[in-house]
Amino acid sequence: MAVFSEEIVNWLKAAEQQAEGRFREIDQIADHNQWKVIEAFQRHQVSDYHFSGSTGYAYNDRGREVLDLVYADVFGAEAALVRPHFASGTHTIATALFGLLRPGDELLYITGRPYDTLHKVIGKPGDGSGSLQDFGITYNEAELNADGSIDWEAVREKITDRTKVIGIQRSRGYDWRDSFTVEQIGAMVREVKAIKPDVIVFVDNCYGEFTEEREPTEVGADLIAGSLIKNPGGGLAETGGYICGREDLVRLASYRLTAPGIGGEVGAMLGTTRGIYQGLFLAPTIVGQAVKGSVLAAAVFERAGFASRPKWSEPRTDLIQAISFSGAEQLIAFVQGIQKAAAVDGHVVPEAWDMPGYEHPVIMAAGTFIQGGSLELSADAPIRSPYIAYMQGGLTYSHVKFGLLTALQTMKDRNLL
């Protein structure tokens, strides 16, 4: 068995005791969402035959159709498009945006600069890549206030008659800001619709699913999207994404995913259907495990003298735990320590590399069953100042605990604690 220094073990025990009350709150959210998912399965009479998958055009794949209905139900939406054909979260979000926007329209993000991989989706006018701006769709953003809140003065100024879609990113992504709760997103929806009633509100829901009792579609968001190798895939979905929301808008996105007029009526599920259903079934509970792990990480690293965001005691609306380090060496030791605790590829030492879609070298701990699956315990850190690691996930709370102990011990062994 791994041996950890007494000091580290004591920090962890104290952090665990401190967070007891938070853990009970997280269990209650997990119960609420678990039952919500089970009841949605029951309402749509999910049966064994829905899992069989399909080939070719896959017309009338009842498993695929019911999966969309179940997702729509769980997310309180009119319709959903849940497919293994989405290659990533970025692809899913891009499909939604290209579905909604036409040349001459404008996309306005009101939560500041979006997640790194979306920068190239937005692109630049005439960049030749087929980005939104290359197609003559313009883009604007309202930076957040210094305290991380929405700059409403800027938003009011930037909403024009060409503003077709308002973009909101729920999760902090790779930024040292707070994530936006579902309640805050609801308030944003009301505010932008008061300014421009026909604007479409799109929410990048990545990492947020099942961390609260409600989802953005339940507080007025018109369309949301996320990745199945994050929260709603429950660690079992092998690939894919989902889009939920207003029926007409989901249809537009489906036309972009396949072809106009065809939409979601085709698309072979091959062997993925059971994993996507079973993953959704498990997701609320596994998200609860991961969120508990994030709270523990905040508590133990605060004890060890590091700044964390959110703090252990603060409410959560996503999986991500940001921890601030004082330099690249500490950051790298932390990420390598998380990797060392993995069941898969625990023997591999991660290094920083220039990942497609990212603007700085990124180091990632991703000892996962699903490649890049970040409902599994993982950590990402762009190697840039300020040195912040973003950790997330954990299919079991116990694994997160093991990861935190191993990361702290790795730092201590290198005299970085």
Nearer to ligand PLP, 23 or 369 (CB): 369
**In the complex, least distance from residue 173 CB atom to ligand PLP, rounded to whole angstroms:** 4
Position 233 contacts ligand PLP (CB under 6 A): no
**In the complex, least distance from residue 170 CB atom to ligand PLP, rounded to whole angstroms:** 7
Candidate list 34, 54, 111, 171; residue touching ligand PLP; CB under 6 A: 171
Nearer to ligand PLP, 61 or 175 (CB): 175
Candidate list 41, 71, 115, 281; residue touching ligand PLP; CB under 6 A: 115
Would you give the DSSP letter of residue 117? G
Candidate list 131, 169, 289, 410; residue touching ligand PLP; CB under 6 A: 169
Position 321 contacts ligand PLP (CB under 6 A): no
Q: Which ranges in 44-181 belong to alpha helices (H)?
A: 62-74, 89-100, 119-122, 152-158
User: Which residue has 């030791």 as its token pair?
Assistant: 333
Candidate list 84, 123, 173, 337; residue touching ligand PLP; CB under 6 A: 173
Taking alpha carbons only, the member of 365, 96, 85, 55 closest to residue 238 is: 85
Sheet with 241-245, strands from edge to edge, namely 79-83, 241-245, 223-227, 200-204, 163-169, 106-109, 138-141
Is the distance from CB of 345 to CB of 339 less than 8 angstroms?
Answer: yes
What distance in Å separates the CA atoms of residue 65 and residue 52, rounded to the nearest whole number? 13
Position 368 contacts ligand PLP (CB under 6 A): no
**In the complex, least distance from residue 90 CB atom to ligand PLP, rounded to whole angstroms:** 3
Q: In degrees, to the nearest 5, what angle opens at C-alpha 125 toward C-alphas 119 and 126?
A: 115
**In the complex, least distance from residue 171 CB atom to ligand PLP, rounded to whole angstroms:** 4
Candidate list 227, 231, 272, 378; residue touching ligand PLP; CB under 6 A: 227
Nearer to ligand PLP, 264 or 373 (CB): 373
Position 90 contacts ligand PLP (CB under 6 A): yes
Position 179 contacts ligand PLP (CB under 6 A): no
Would you give the DSSP letter of residue 353? B
Nearer to ligand PLP, 206 or 219 (CB): 206
Q: Length of the chain, please?
A: 417
**In the complex, least distance from residue 114 CB atom to ligand PLP, rounded to whole angstroms:** 7
User: In which element (H, E) is residue 221 found?
Assistant: none
**In the complex, least distance from residue 305 CB atom to ligand PLP, rounded to whole angstroms:** 28
Taking alpha carbons only, the member of 356, 362, 26 closest to residue 174 is: 362
What distance in Å separates the CA atoms of residue 101 and residue 121, rounded to the nearest whole number? 13
Is the distance from CB of 214 to CB of 207 less than 8 angstroms?
Answer: no
Is the distance from CB of 232 to CB of 37 less than 8 angstroms?
Answer: no
Nearer to ligand PLP, 63 or 275 (CB): 275
Taking alpha carbons only, the member of 275, 234, 274, 281 closest to residue 49 is: 274
Nearer to ligand PLP, 120 or 399 (CB): 120
Position 88 contacts ligand PLP (CB under 6 A): yes
Judged by CB under 6 A, the stretch of 25-33, 167-175, 276-284, 394-402 that binds ligand PLP is 167-175
Judged by CB under 6 A, the stretch of 87-95, 136-144, 192-200, 246-254 that binds ligand PLP is 87-95
* Residues in 192-221 at the binding interface with ligand PLP, rule: CB under 6 A: 204, 206-207
Position 117 contacts ligand PLP (CB under 6 A): yes
**SS3 of residue 183 by DSSP:** helix
**SS3 of residue 321 by DSSP:** strand
Task: Dig out the tokens for 322 from the structure.
Answer: 């940001």
Count residues near ligand PLP (CB under 6 A). Answer: 13
Judged by CB under 6 A, the stretch of 86-94, 102-110, 328-336, 340-348 that binds ligand PLP is 86-94
> Which residue's Cβ lies closest to ligand PLP?
89
Torsion of CA 236, 237, 238, 241, to 10 degrees: -150
**In the complex, least distance from residue 360 CB atom to ligand PLP, rounded to whole angstroms:** 15
Is the distance from CB of 367 to CB of 349 less than 8 angstroms?
Answer: no
User: Which residue has 């133990």 as its token pair?
Assistant: 300
Torsion of CA 173, 174, 178, 182, to 10 degrees: 0
Give Cβ neighbours of residue 144 (< 8 Å, ≥ 6 apart).
Answer: 111, 112, 150, 151, 177
Nearer to ligand PLP, 10 or 371 (CB): 371
Residues at the site binding ligand PLP, with contacts judged by CB under 6 A: 88-90, 93, 115, 117, 169, 171, 173, 204, 206-207, 227
